C-alpha cells in the first residue's frame, strides 16, 4: 500500500484520503474531526505495543481502514479510532464526551462494553456475545466497529499466544461471521471465516489453500473464456453490461462443502467460483437471464429469483446454473451494480448517500434490519439464557411468509404450518388441524418456503399433538407446545396413567379407510406423483375420492411402506392423523409458445405473474427480434395438475402485449 507502517503521519493521510473517497460531503470540518480523534488516540496509546511488537495505535487505525468500505459516518470513524482508549488507557468517559461529544462516547462505550470481560470460563464468552447483541439492538454502528476490530485482530492472530488463538478463532467463526452475514456484510464474513479457518484448522487450511492456489491458473483461463463468450452473446442482444466477474468461493466455504460432501480433494468441488454479470437495471437482469437460458442449457429448478422475492437480509439477484462450459455446471448470478454493492457491503449505499443528521440509514435499510434484533433480550437474562435466545433467533436462517391478508411473518428456515400458527397466536396453534399453503392443503410438517401464503385451519377444542415436537422448528413453538402439554398433566397423574394417555394419543385411527383403498383399475401406467418433493415413491390411489389428474392431492403415509393418495378435499381426511400427511402433486410439464410486443420489463412481469401463482418455470427460451420488436418466448412450467395454470394463461393472454399464446 506504499506507506510506512510506523509513519503515523502517512497513516493519517491515508485515512483522510480513504474517508474522502467514500464520503461525498467530506470537508474541512470532517477532516478536523478525524485528525483530532487520530492524534488523541495516538497520544493515549503512546508507548503501548501489540503482541506483534508494533505500536498499539496501528490497531485502531487498521480497524478503521477495514470499516471504510461500508462508508462509515464521521462519528463512527472517530469512535473506531478511539475504540480501545477507555479500556486500555487513562482516558475517561468525561474526557471523551468533552473532546468528542456524547454520540462518539456512546459508540466507544458500546464497543468497550462488548469487549469487557467480567466472567470466568465459558460463561465469559457467552457474556461477550450477549453484550454484542444488546449493543446491536441499541446502535448497529457499535457492531460495525466491533467487526472491523475483530477482522484486524484476526489478521494478526499469529502473534497472539496459541491458547488464545483457538478461542478467538472459534468465537469469530461461530458468532461474528454469521452476524456479518446476517447484516449483509459478505466481504466481512468472508474475511472473518478465512482468518478463523486458518487458525482453527491449520492443517486443513493449508491443504485447501495449497490446492486452490495450484488450480488457480486453470480456473483463470476458464473464467476468462466464460466471460468472453457471455459478453459476446449479450452484446449481440444489445444488453449493456457493466461488468462480468468470476467470483471465487472463499476457502472456508470450499472446506465446508468438501466436508459436507465427503470430498477429499478441492478438484471435486465444481463450483469453485460463480460468474457474476452486473447490468444497469433490473429489467436488464431478466433480459440477460433470457439470453443466457437460450444460449446454454439451464439446469431445471436451479433458477432462483431473488429480485422479485429478496432474501430476508435484502439480498437481490437472479441465480441460475447452466451446462455447456466445460464439464461442470456453472453458476451464474445476474444483478444490478447497486444490488451488488449492497450485497458486498450491505449498508454502504444506503448510508453515505443519505447522510441525514440523525440517522445513518435510510428507512429501507432500517426496515430490512427490523427482523434482525428480534431477540427480546432482557438486561437481567443470564448469559446462558441469552445465548440460547440468540442462537435460536439470530444464528439460524429465516424465511418470510405471509398471512392471507398479506401480513409478513418471519420464521426460522424449515418452519412448518404449526410454527406459523403459533407465531400468530397460541390458540391458533393449539387448535390447528390443517393448513393451506398458497391455497393448497398441505400436511402439518410441510416445510414452508420464502414467500408462501399460509392459511391455518382451526377447530375449537382441538389440542396440540406431542408428535408435533418432532418436526416444529422454532424454539418459541416448542416452548408453547410443551407448556400446553405440561398444563394438561395434573400433579396426581401416576406415571402409568401418563404412559397410557400417551399410547392413546398415538394409537392409529380407525383403519376403515384402508379397506376402501384399492388400486385404480383400468389404467396401465400410473401418472407420476411427487410426494414430499420425492419422485418414484410407491403409492396407491384410494377409492373414497378417486383422485383425478388435475386435482389437488395429498399423500398419506400408511402403516405399510407406501402412500395412499387422496384428493385434497376428500372428506375422509378429517379422520386421519394430520402428522402422516405429505404434500403431493401430479408432475406434469406443460409447454407453451408465446409472442409478445416487446417492452422493457416484459419478461420480468410475466415471470412474476407465473411465480405469484406458485408455478415453477422449468424451461425458458426468450428471444427478441429487434426489427419487428416482437419477443418470442418458449417455455415450460411445472404443473401440479390444478387448474391454476389455466387462470395464469388467461391473465397472460389478456395482457395488451400478448400477440399469441398457445399450449404445445
- The residues of the shown chain that bind Mn ion, judged by CB under 5 A, are 84, 149
Residue 83 beta carbon to Mn ion: minimum distance, rounded to whole angstroms: 6
Alpha-helical regions (H) of 527-653:
602-612, 644-653
Residue 13 beta carbon to Mn ion: minimum distance, rounded to whole angstroms: 22
Give 517's DSSP letter.
Answer: B
Locate cell 394417555: which residue? 501
Which lies closer to Mn ion via its Cβ, residue 160 or residue 275?
Answer: 160
Distance CA 164, CA 466 (A): 44
Which lies closer to Mn ion via its Cβ, residue 176 or residue 365?
Answer: 176
Closest CA to 174 of 113, 112, 129: 129
Which lies closer to Mn ion via its Cβ, residue 115 or residue 393?
Answer: 115
Encode 452-505 in three state secondary structure.
CEEEEEECCCCCCCHHHHHCCCCHHHHHHHHHHHHHHCCCCCCHHHHHHHHHHH
Residue 149 beta carbon to Mn ion: minimum distance, rounded to whole angstroms: 4
Residue 73 beta carbon to Mn ion: minimum distance, rounded to whole angstroms: 20
Cβ(449)–Cβ(614) below 8 Å: no
Residue 116 beta carbon to Mn ion: minimum distance, rounded to whole angstroms: 12
Region for residue 101 given its phi and psi (left: phi exceeds 0; alpha: psi -120 to 50; beta: otherwise) = left
Which lies closer to Mn ion via its Cβ, residue 196 or residue 558?
Answer: 196
Which lies closer to Mn ion via its Cβ, residue 81 or residue 177?
Answer: 81
Distance CA 171, CA 131 (A): 14
Which lies closer to Mn ion via its Cβ, residue 84 or residue 438?
Answer: 84
Decide: helix, strand or coil at residue 622.
strand
Which lies closer to Mn ion via its Cβ, residue 73 or residue 84?
Answer: 84
Residue 150 beta carbon to Mn ion: minimum distance, rounded to whole angstroms: 8
Q: How many CB atoms lie within 10 A of CB 472?
A: 25
CA dihedral sign, ordered 363, 364, 367, 369: negative
Decide: helix, strand or coil at residue 530.
strand
Residue 379 beta carbon to Mn ion: minimum distance, rounded to whole angstroms: 24
Residues 6+ apart with CB under 8 A from 9: none
Distance CA 594, CA 321 (A): 24
Alpha-helical regions (H) of 237-295:
251-261, 282-295
CA 45, distance to chain mean position in Å, is: 40
Distance CA 233, CA 246 (A): 17
Residue 167 beta carbon to Mn ion: minimum distance, rounded to whole angstroms: 16
**DSSP-derived secondary structure for 379-410:** TTS-HHHHHHHHHHHTSS-EEEEE-TT--EEE
Residue 555 beta carbon to Mn ion: minimum distance, rounded to whole angstroms: 56
Cβ(474)–Cβ(421) below 8 Å: no
Residue 40 beta carbon to Mn ion: minimum distance, rounded to whole angstroms: 16
Give 535's DSSP letter.
Answer: S
As a dihedral over the C-alpha atoms of residue 561, residue 565, residue 568, residue 572, rounded to 10 degrees, the angle is -80
Say how many Å lie between the first and final Cα of the chain, rounded.
61
Which lies closer to Mn ion via its Cβ, residue 84 or residue 127?
Answer: 84
Packing angle between helix 140-155 and helix 122-138, nearest 10 degrees? Answer: 140
Decide: helix, strand or coil at residue 585.
strand
Q: How many CB atoms lie within 10 A of CB 52?
A: 12
Residue 115 beta carbon to Mn ion: minimum distance, rounded to whole angstroms: 7
Residue 146 beta carbon to Mn ion: minimum distance, rounded to whole angstroms: 9
Closest CA to 579 of 639, 653, 489, 505: 505
Which lies closer to Mn ion via its Cβ, residue 61 or residue 377?
Answer: 61
Which lies closer to Mn ion via its Cβ, residue 149 or residue 194?
Answer: 149
Which lies closer to Mn ion via its Cβ, residue 58 or residue 239?
Answer: 58
Residue 88 beta carbon to Mn ion: minimum distance, rounded to whole angstroms: 8
Packing angle between helix 28-44 and helix 93-100, nearest 10 degrees? Answer: 160
Tell me the residue number closest to Mn ion, measured at CB: 149
Residue 186 beta carbon to Mn ion: minimum distance, rounded to whole angstroms: 23
Which lies closer to Mn ion via its Cβ, residue 86 or residue 183?
Answer: 86
Distances from the Cα of 195 to the Cαs of 66, 266, 514, in angstroms? 14, 19, 59
Which lies closer to Mn ion via its Cβ, residue 41 or residue 178?
Answer: 41
Q: How many CB atoms lie within 10 A of CB 476?
A: 19
Which lies closer to Mn ion via its Cβ, residue 156 or residue 280?
Answer: 156
Cβ(148)–Cβ(60) below 8 Å: no
Which lies closer to Mn ion via its Cβ, residue 88 or residue 634?
Answer: 88
Region for residue 662 given its phi and psi (left: phi exceeds 0; alpha: psi -120 to 50; beta: otherwise) = beta
Residue 639 beta carbon to Mn ion: minimum distance, rounded to whole angstroms: 58
**The three grid cell numbers given for residue 269, joined into one nine-digit string:** 468441488
Amino acid at each position: 500500500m506504499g506507506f510506512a507502517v510506523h509513519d503515523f503521519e502517512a497513516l493519517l493521510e491515508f485515512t483522510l484520503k480513504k474517508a474522502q473517497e467514500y464520503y461525498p460531503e467530506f470537508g474541512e470540518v470532517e477532516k478536523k474531526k478525524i485528525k483530532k480523534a487520530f492524534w488523541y488516540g495516538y497520544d493515549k496509546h503512546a508507548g503501548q505495543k501489540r503482541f506483534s511488537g508494533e505500536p498499539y495505535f496501528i490497531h485502531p487505525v487498521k480497524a478503521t481502514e477495514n470499516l471504510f468500505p461500508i462508508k462509515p459516518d464521521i462519528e463512527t470513524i472517530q469512535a473506531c479510532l478511539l475504540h480501545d482508549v477507555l479500556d486500555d488507557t487513562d482516558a475517561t468517559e468525561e474526557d471523551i464526551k468533552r473532546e468528542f461529544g456524547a454520540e462518539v462516547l456512546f459508540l466507544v462505550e458500546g464497543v468497550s462494553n462488548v469487549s469487557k470481560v467480567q466472567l470466568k470460563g465459558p460463561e465469559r464468552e457467552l457474556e461477550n456475545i450477549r453484550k454484542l447483541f444488546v449493543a446491536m439492538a441499541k446502535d448497529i454502528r457499535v457492531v460495525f466497529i466491533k467487526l472491523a476490530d475483530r477482522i484486524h485482530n484476526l489478521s494478526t492472530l499469529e502473534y497472539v499466544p496459541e491458547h488464545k488463538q483457538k478461542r478467538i478463532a472459534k468465537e469469530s467463526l461461530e458468532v461474528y461471521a454469521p452476524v456479518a452475514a446476517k447484516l449483509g456484510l459478505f466481504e466481512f464474513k468472508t474475511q472473518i471465516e478465512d482468518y478463523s479457518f486458518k487458525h482453527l484448522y491449520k492443517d486443513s487450511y493449508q491443504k485447501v489453500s495449497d490446492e486452490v492456489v495450484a488450480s488457480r491458473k486453470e480456473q483463470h483461463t476458464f473464467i476468462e473464456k466464460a466471460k468472453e463468450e457471455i459478453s459476446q452473446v449479450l452484446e449481440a442482444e444489445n444488453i449493456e453490461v457493466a461488468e462480468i466477474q468470476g467470483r471465487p468461493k472463499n476457502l472456508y466455504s470450499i472446506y465446508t462443502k468438501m466436508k459436507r460432501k465427503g470430498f477429499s480433494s478441492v478438484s471435486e468441488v465444481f463450483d469453485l467460483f460463480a460468474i457474476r454479470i452486473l447490468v444497469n437495471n433490473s429489467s436488464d437482469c431478466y433480459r440477460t437471464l433470457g439470453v443466457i437460458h437460450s444460449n446454454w442449457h439451464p439446469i431445471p429448478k436451479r433458477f432462483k429469483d431473488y429480485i422479485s422475492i429478496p432474501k430476508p437480509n435484502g439480498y437481490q439477484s437472479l441465480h441460475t446454473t447452466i451446462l455447456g462450459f466445460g464439464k461442470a455446471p456453472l453458476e451464474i448470478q445476474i444483478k444490478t451494480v447497486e444490488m451488488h454493492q449492497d450485497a458486498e457491503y450491505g449498508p454502504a449505499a444506503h448510508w453515505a448517500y443519505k447522510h441525514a443528521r440523525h440517522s445513518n440509514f435510510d428507512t429501507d435499510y432500517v426496515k430490512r434490519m427490523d427482523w434482525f434484533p428480534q431477540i427480546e433480550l432482557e438486561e437481567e437474562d443470564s448469559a446462558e439464557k441469552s445465548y440460547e435466545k440468540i442462537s435460536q433467533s439470530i444464528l439460524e436462517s429465516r424465511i418470510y411468509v405471509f398471512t392471507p391478508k398479506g401480513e409478513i411473518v418471519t420464521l426460522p428456515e424449515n418452519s412448518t404450518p404449526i410454527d406459523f400458527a403459533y407465531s400468530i397466536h397460541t390458540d391458533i396453534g393449539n387448535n390447528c388441524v390443517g393448513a393451506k399453503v398458497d391455497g393448497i392443503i398441505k400436511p402439518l410438517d410441510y416445510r414452508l418456503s420464502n414467500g408462501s401464503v399460509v392459511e391455518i385451519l382451526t377447530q375449537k377444542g382441538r389440542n396440540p399433538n406431542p408428535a408435533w415436537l418432532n418436526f416444529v422448528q422454532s424454539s418459541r413453538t416448542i416452548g408453547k407446545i410443551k407448556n400446553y402439554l405440561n398444563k394438561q398433566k395434573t400433579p396426581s397423574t401416576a406415571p402409568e396413567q401418563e404412559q397410557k394417555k400417551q399410547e392413546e394419543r398415538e394409537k392409529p385411527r380407525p383403519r376403515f379407510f384402508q379397506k376402501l383403498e384399492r388400486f385404480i383399475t383400468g389404467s396401465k401406467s400410473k401418472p407420476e406423483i411427487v410426494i414430499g418433493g420425492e419422485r418414484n415413491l410407491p403409492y396407491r390411489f384410494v377409492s373414497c375420492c378417486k383422485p383425478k389428474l388435475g386435482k389437488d392431492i395429498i399423500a398419506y403415509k400408511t402403516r405399510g411402506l407406501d402412500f395412499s393418495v387422496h384428493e385434497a378435499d376428500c372428506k375422509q381426511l378429517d379422520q386421519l392423523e394430520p402428522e402422516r400427511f405429505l404434500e403431493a402433486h401430479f408432475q406434469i410439464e406443460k409447454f407453451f409458445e408465446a409472442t409478445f410486443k416487446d417492452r422493457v420489463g416484459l419478461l420480468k412481469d410475466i415471470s412474476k405473474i407465473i411465480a405469484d401463482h406458485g408455478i415453477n418455470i422449468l424451461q425458458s427460451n426468450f428471444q427478441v427480434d429487434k426489427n419487428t420488436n416482437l419477443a418470442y418466448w418458449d417455455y415450460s412450467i411445472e404443473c401440479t395438475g390444478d387448474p391454476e395454470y389455466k387462470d395464469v394463461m388467461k391473465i397472460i393472454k389478456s395482457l395488451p402485449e400478448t400477440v399469441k399464446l398457445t399450449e404445445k
